Amino acid sequence: MNLRQLIPIFDSSVSSWSLEARLVRWLTYVWLFIGLIILFSASYAVADQRQGDGLYYFKRQIIWVLVSLVVFNIIVNLPLRKILGVSHYFLIFFLILIFLTLVPGLGRKAFDAARWIALGPIPIQPSELIKPFLVLQSARLFGQWEKLSWGVRLSWLRVFCLILLGILAQPNLSTTALCGMTIWFIALAAGLPYKYLGSTAIGGILLALLSISIKEYQRRRVMSFLNPWADATGDGYQLVQSLLAVGSGKTWGAGFGLSQQKLFYLPIQDTDFIFAVFAEEFGFIGCVLLLFLLTGFATLGLIIALKAKNTTAQLVAIGVTVVMVGQSFLHIGVATGALPTTGLPLPMFSYGGNSMIASLVASALLIRVAREGSEAEVVPLRRTKPENGRRGRMF
């Protein structure tokens, strides 16, 4: 693979791709381009104050984008069979990192949550990076559910539970909910019995209620979400400022770079509330166009899933669609007050290398499924026939 192939924008081989693969590719670039424009506007003032350089966060995001695009193109050109064959290694690696963030002295805290761990000079957020591999391994498990023994099934379900509990313990309720819903929707698409799906859904809701009842700050967020104006300078401050930004956009928006709420009124405007800046600058029309973009991505994801003849590949496409579009709608719901205030980045928009890598890896997986179509092969979770008299392995 030469340098020209590593930079996907200039790779001429895409002419042989399926129509869906090319459309997802260009939709990803459009999404990424718009996100960079909004990040430039949303981060300039705060970067200038904190770092003395208005382009500080933007330049670092560009570096992460270039790194992510290299990974993106490698995955796009790598057979899905090989990607699935190593997905469990990455999943276990990031699971270990998730629990390492809980170790005092190792995990880095932000807003009373230990979500990062440093690997040298690079901050790693394993709960973000694990998402595409959670999709891959869930697709492998549920795509072959009927062929597997209960021992293999329960082993991987325990791993999924550990992932969710580890993220919840950070605490990170929003990411836990997103990962849980992703696994659940993949299982639903795979046709698992409703008694399993129903009991799992009830268990997840009860776990969320338990977390809210134990964590006081989560409980305050839920209460402030119901009526943010009751404590507009306290627990409701973030949502109130976000609503003011969204409302100020009106029909056509204030114009690019002219958001007033980003000038130290709206907290964390370059990550968890970046949609509010977008809404203020581009207004209702801009928001509708963004929703059309998300709808287009979701539609292509479903078309790709329907055209894939292999069950595992279908589930990968569905899982990626749930992660990318679902997370986007959750972010928008928080910024507009439709959902309780929580920290969840907007894919391709929010500042952060971990989120950018996870988003472009997920998009690359969808393109890969579209490219392979009916040629995608299944990677078994264990050998179908024992060798040398030994039982098959779960990997």
Of the listed ranges 147-161, 176-190, 214-228, 349-363, the one predicted with least confidence: 214-228
State how far the Cα of 94 lies from the Cα of 135, in Å rounded to an integer.
13
The helix, strand and coil proportions of the chain, stated in percent and rounded to the nearest 5, come to 70, 5, 25
Residue 2 confidence class, pLDDT cut points 50, 70, 90: low
Residue 5 confidence class, pLDDT cut points 50, 70, 90: low
Which long-range contacts link 293-298 to residues 24+ away (Cβ below 8 Å)?
Answer: 293/27, 293/30, 293/31, 293/34, 294/325, 294/328, 294/329, 296/27, 297/24, 297/27, 297/31, 297/321, 297/324, 297/325, 298/325
Residue with tokens 């949609």: 275
Asked if the model's pLDDT at residue 4 lies above 90, the reply is no
pLDDT digits (tens, 9 = 90+) for 116-141: 888 777 889 999 999 999 999 999 99
State how far the Cα of 90 lies from the Cα of 130, in Å rounded to an integer.
8
pLDDT digits (tens, 9 = 90+) for 346-373: 999 999 999 999 999 999 999 999 999 8
Tell me phi and psi for residue 118, to 5 degrees: -90, 125
State how far the Cα of 65 lies from the Cα of 43, in Å rounded to an integer.
16
User: Vertex 102, ends 101 and 104: CA angle to 5°?
Assistant: 100
What is the rounded average pLDDT of the residues 275-300? 98
What is the rounded average pLDDT of the residues 206-233? 83
pLDDT digits (tens, 9 = 90+) for 50-95: 999 999 999 999 999 999 999 999 999 999 999 999 999 999 999 9
Single out the residue of 367, 363, 370 nearest to residue 320, CA to CA.
363
pLDDT, position 113: 64
What is the rounded average pLDDT of the residues 374-395? 49
pLDDT, position 112: 58
Give yes or no for a contact between 116 and 125, defined as CB atoms under 8 angstroms apart: yes
State how far the Cα of 184 lies from the Cα of 153, in Å rounded to an integer.
15
* Both structure tokens of 275: 């949609």
Average pLDDT, the chain: 89
pLDDT, position 235: 85
Q: How many C-beta neighbours within 10 Å does residue 1 have?
A: 10
For the chain, give the percent of residues with pLDDT over 70: 89
pLDDT digits (tens, 9 = 90+) for 235-249: 899 999 999 999 999
